[in-house]
């Protein structure tokens, strides 16, 4: 959800406000907690040490291997220089919503507790240690006053940013919306998912330990998967907690509280991570491929140490020692990486792509040679598809962006056990052929024949970026493979920015799932012309769905489905032939900004015993009416601004 507002603050004022906020947060957090000294112990050999790579000498925070958009910070570097660098990048990127700059801020194992990292657009903060507690940051913050004035705190456009694999030695404000991730972190205080209760529309948190509370505040919705915290406070419309440790789970459920609790995550394949534990040894650089987990509860990296929430409070001694393992040593040799956490893929198995040097042909050629692909940060303008046909990993750093520039697909896959992670897919301007015909991308990503493909932190965009012609795509992603696990996907037809209008950034659907046995966590799809999500495959499962139907329908008669017999297009359409499907925590929102455009049902499900939905909410945000039903012909209408309708359960025409 977005609210367009004029920027009114200077970079200097923003920095002063940020400093004031941190001055308030850090002393209290440190007084209570200190900087928790999580540690790592040596384990039996579980991985092959990577081979030394060329171009790994660090000069001015960069290496030739990873390029100028990857910043590498060492504990021995001048910390004031590190602070200046991250502040300068933030001043450039705080408001750069549709720019082309992409950066990854990577920290070698060490103590950076005197460094504060503000996180702007297209910024990834990444710890390079084997465990989150190997990299200690003093503070990390994402605030939200840039979109309006200092009293607004509107985070509804805080997209496209990431933090992974670090310890944050203070309380943290992470006021974000869609297309953001926080993974594998430890926060030595509270995590606030809003900026002073301003609007926020997130979000995703996974495999993380929060030593006190998670405060979701004004967040409209959130997906929390396999996390550990002492307590969770506040709720708004749709908070879904999957596989979180039970001791800290909030009390209450629908309709009084908007919490949906799922005891365990049915299957998890976490996102790969770049690790480089010793800056003096290129051989200790590699990609961690996390182990797959089934029926997972809690974090993956605790060595069996769990958060004790049995007592009302902790003593200072408990706070200081919590998180320690058998020694204070940091793992500096990746050959000792524990097998139960995953495996290390050495850099000799990877092709490091750079936006200034690579195109679809060079990347496809590397894939054909059996290489995995590490996309360094930047925008890759592609005139033809990248083709991945093996069991490989394609991992983006710093929100690396694949952009179609000739009405083409960005990435075509056909293989088993493929992993795609950390990429933004962008529809470039619609191409015009020599005969004058408009060429429109049929998909930005096509996950073709295969099975057991995993999709982590993938984002899709049609429109908004400055172009001479409107961006267009028929759909953003089509999945034909079976057994796909996807998590944290934001599929977005832009509702603001350049070349945005009903007849400009024209689309059909956001995502089409044809494969069987698809499992989705945190699927967010917005503003497409027809159905936002089409689910044709059998035995699908969906945990947390967020969607807005289009804002800009010009008139109700222009927006009808089923051959003109039904008002509007449901956000989520499960095909009539499907016999087994399950969804939990579904939120669909309506904002008819430009006209009255009635919608018959927010969700359409086949009426059969094997298809059901648990906890579904619809809201008319503001503007014109309206929506008749929640699922099929069940559920109340929403016709007035702010009106909500809820179904606790729906299956085979039965609802409550």
- Which SS3 state, helix, strand or coil, does residue 558 take? helix
Q: Could you tell me if 323 and 212 are in contact, meaning their C-beta atoms sit under 8 angstroms apart?
A: no
Q: Which residue has the tokens 């605030």?
A: 143
Closest CA to 36 of 254, 216, 212, 260: 212
Provide the pLDDT confidence category of residue 2 given band limits of 50, 70 and 90. very low
- Mean pLDDT, residues 388-405: 97
- Mean pLDDT, residues 404-425: 97
- pLDDT tens digits along 264-282: 999 999 999 999 998 888 8
Paired tokens of 571:
């956000």
* 221 CB neighbour count, 10 Å cutoff: 29
pLDDT value at residue 144: 94
* 59 CB neighbour count, 10 Å cutoff: 8
- pLDDT tens digits along 103-158: 999 999 999 999 999 999 999 999 999 999 999 999 999 999 998 777 889 999 99
pLDDT value at residue 15: 43
Q: Is the pLDDT of residue 41 over 90?
A: no
Residues of the chain with pLDDT > 90, as a percent, come to 81
**Which residues is 172 bridged to in the sheet?**
191
Domain extent, residue 32, equals 11-268
Tally of structural domains, the chain: 1
Q: Which residue has the higher pLDDT, 645 or 35?
A: 645
Q: Which residue has the tokens 């037809």?
A: 493
Q: Is the pLDDT of residue 93 over 80?
A: yes
Q: Write out the DSSP string of 158-214.
A: --SEEEES-EESS-EEE---SSEEEES-EESS-EESSSTT--B---EEES-EEEEEE
**Does some domain include residue 241?**
yes
Q: Which residue has the higher pLDDT, 96 or 33?
A: 96
pLDDT value at residue 318: 44
pLDDT value at residue 24: 42
Least confidently predicted of 148-162, 392-406, 467-481: 148-162
pLDDT value at residue 53: 55
Residues with active-site annotation: 548
Closest CA to 487 of 122, 220, 228, 223: 223
Average pLDDT, whole number, for the chain? 89
Q: Is the pLDDT of residue 492 over 60?
A: yes
C-alpha pair distances (Å), 408 with each of 343, 465, 525: 35, 17, 21
- Mean pLDDT, residues 253-263: 96
**Does some domain include residue 257?**
yes
- Mean pLDDT, residues 419-436: 91
- Which SS3 state, helix, strand or coil, does residue 347 take? helix
Q: Is the pLDDT of residue 327 over 80?
A: no
pLDDT value at residue 219: 96
Q: Is the pLDDT of residue 19 over 60?
A: no
- pLDDT tens digits along 161-173: 999 999 999 999 9
**Does some domain include residue 592?**
no
Q: Write out the DSSP string of 498-550.
A: BT-STTTS--SEEEEE-SSS-EEEEEEEE--SS-SEEE-SSSEEEEEEEEE--
**Does some domain include residue 449?**
no
- pLDDT tens digits along 339-348: 888 999 999 9
Provide the pLDDT confidence category of residue 9 given band limits of 50, 70 and 90. very low
pLDDT value at residue 240: 98
Paired tokens of 302:
């605790």
Question: Model's pTM, two decimal places?
Answer: 0.91
pLDDT value at residue 505: 96
Q: Is the pLDDT of residue 255 over 70?
A: yes
Pairwise CA distance, residues 276 & 447, whole Å: 31
**Which residues is 163 bridged to in the sheet?**
125, 182
Provide the pLDDT confidence category of residue 23 given band limits of 50, 70 and 90. very low
- Mean pLDDT, residues 576-598: 96
Q: Is the pLDDT of residue 294 over 60?
A: yes
| Half-sphere exposure of residue 73: CA atoms within 13 angstroms, side-chain side | 25
**Does some domain include residue 209?**
yes
Q: Which residue has the higher pLDDT, 556 or 150?
A: 556
- Mean pLDDT, residues 88-105: 98
Pairwise CA distance, residues 485 & 478, whole Å: 14
pLDDT value at residue 305: 40
- Mean pLDDT, residues 625-646: 97
Torsion of CA 309, 164, 458, 201, to 10 degrees: 60
- Mean pLDDT, residues 431-456: 92
Q: Could you tell me if 474 and 440 are in contact, meaning their C-beta atoms sit under 8 angstroms apart?
A: yes
- Mean pLDDT, residues 184-207: 96
**Does some domain include residue 649?**
no
pLDDT value at residue 329: 63
Torsion of CA 269, 272, 277, 282, to 10 degrees: 140
* Residue 15 per-residue DSSP state: H
Provide the pLDDT confidence category of residue 396 given band limits of 50, 70 and 90. very high
pLDDT value at residue 332: 80
Q: Is the pLDDT of residue 475 over 90?
A: yes
Q: Is the pLDDT of residue 26 over 80?
A: no
**Does some domain include residue 16?**
yes
């Amino acid at each position: 959800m977005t609210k367009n507002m004029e920027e009114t603050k200077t970079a200097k004022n923003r920095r002063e406000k940020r400093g004031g906020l941190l001055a308030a947060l850090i002393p209290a957090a440190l007084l209570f907690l200190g900087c928790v000294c999580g540690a790592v112990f040596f384990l039996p050999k579980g991985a092959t040490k990577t081979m030394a790579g060329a171009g790994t000498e660090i000069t001015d925070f960069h290496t030739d291997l990873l390029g100028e958009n990857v910043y590498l910070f060492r504990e021995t570097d001048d910390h004031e220089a590190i602070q200046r660098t991250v502040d300068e990048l933030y001043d450039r990127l705080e408001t750069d919503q549709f720019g082309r700059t992409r950066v990854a801020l990577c920290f070698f194992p060490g103590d950076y507790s005197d460094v504060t990292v503000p996180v702007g657009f297209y910024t990834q903060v990444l710890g390079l240690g084997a465990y989150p507690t190997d990299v200690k940051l003093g503070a990390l913050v994402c605030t939200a006053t840039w979109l309006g004035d200092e009293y607004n705190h509107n985070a509804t456009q805080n997209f496209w940013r990431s933090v992974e694999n670090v310890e944050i030695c203070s309380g943290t404000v992470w006021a974000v919306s869609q297309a953001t991730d926080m993974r594998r972190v430890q926060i030595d205080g509270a995590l606030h998912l809003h900026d002073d209760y301003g609007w926020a529309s997130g979000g995703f948190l996974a495999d993380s330990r929060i030593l006190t509370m998670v405060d979701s505040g004004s967040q409209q919705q959130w997906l929390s998967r396999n996390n550990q915290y002492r307590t969770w406070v506040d709720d708004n419309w749709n908070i879904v907690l999957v596989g979180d440790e039970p001791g800290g789970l909030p009390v209450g459920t629908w309709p009084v509280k908007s919490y949906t609790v799922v005891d365990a995550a049915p299957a998890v394949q976490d996102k790969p991570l770049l690790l480089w534990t010793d800056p003096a040894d290129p051989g200790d650089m590699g990609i961690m491929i996390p182990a797959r987990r089934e029926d997972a509860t809690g974090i993956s990296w605790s060595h069996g140490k769990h958060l004790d929430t049995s007592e009302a409070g902790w003593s200072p001694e408990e706070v200081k020692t919590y998180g320690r393992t058998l020694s204070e040593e940091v793992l500096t040799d990746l050959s000792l990486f524990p097998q139960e956490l995953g495996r290390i893929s050495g850099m000799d198995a990877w092709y490091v792509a750079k936006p200034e040097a690579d195109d679809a042909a060079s990347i496809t050629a590397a894939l054909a040679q059996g290489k995995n692909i590490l996309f360094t940060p930047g925008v890759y303008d592609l005139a033809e598809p990248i083709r991945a046909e093996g069991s490989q990993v394609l991992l983006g750093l710093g929100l690396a962006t694949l952009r179609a520039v000739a009405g083409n697909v960005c990435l075509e896959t056909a293989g088993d056990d493929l992993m795609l992670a950390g990429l933004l897919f962008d529809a470039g301007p619609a191409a015009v052929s020599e005969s004058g015909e408009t060429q429109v991308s049929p998909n930005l990503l096509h996950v073709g024949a295969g099975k057991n493909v995993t999709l982590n932190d993938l984002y899709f965009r049609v429109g908004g970026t400055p172009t001479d012609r409107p961006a267009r795509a028929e759909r953003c992603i089509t999945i034909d493979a079976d057994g796909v696990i996807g998590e944290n996907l934001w599929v977005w037809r832009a509702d603001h920015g350049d070349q945005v209008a009903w007849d400009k950034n024209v689309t059909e659907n956001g995502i089409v799932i044809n494969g069987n046995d698809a499992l989705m966590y945190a699927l967010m799809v917005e503003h497409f012309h027809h159905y936002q999500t089409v689910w044709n495959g059998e035995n699908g499962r969906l945990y947390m769905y967020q969607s807005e139907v289009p804002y800009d329908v010009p008139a109700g008669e222009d927006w009808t489905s089923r051959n003109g017999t039904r008002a509007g297009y449901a956000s989520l359409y499960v095909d009539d032939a499907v016999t087994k499907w399950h969804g939990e925590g579904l939120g669909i929102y309506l904002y008819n900004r430009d006209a009255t455009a009635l919608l018959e049902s927010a969700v359409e499900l086949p009426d059969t015993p094997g298809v059901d939905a648990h906890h579904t909410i619809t809201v008319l945000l503001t503007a014109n009416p309206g929506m008749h039903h929640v699922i099929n012909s069940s559920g109340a209408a929403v016709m007035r601004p702010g009106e909500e309708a809820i179904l606790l359960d729906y299956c085979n025409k039965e609802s409550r």
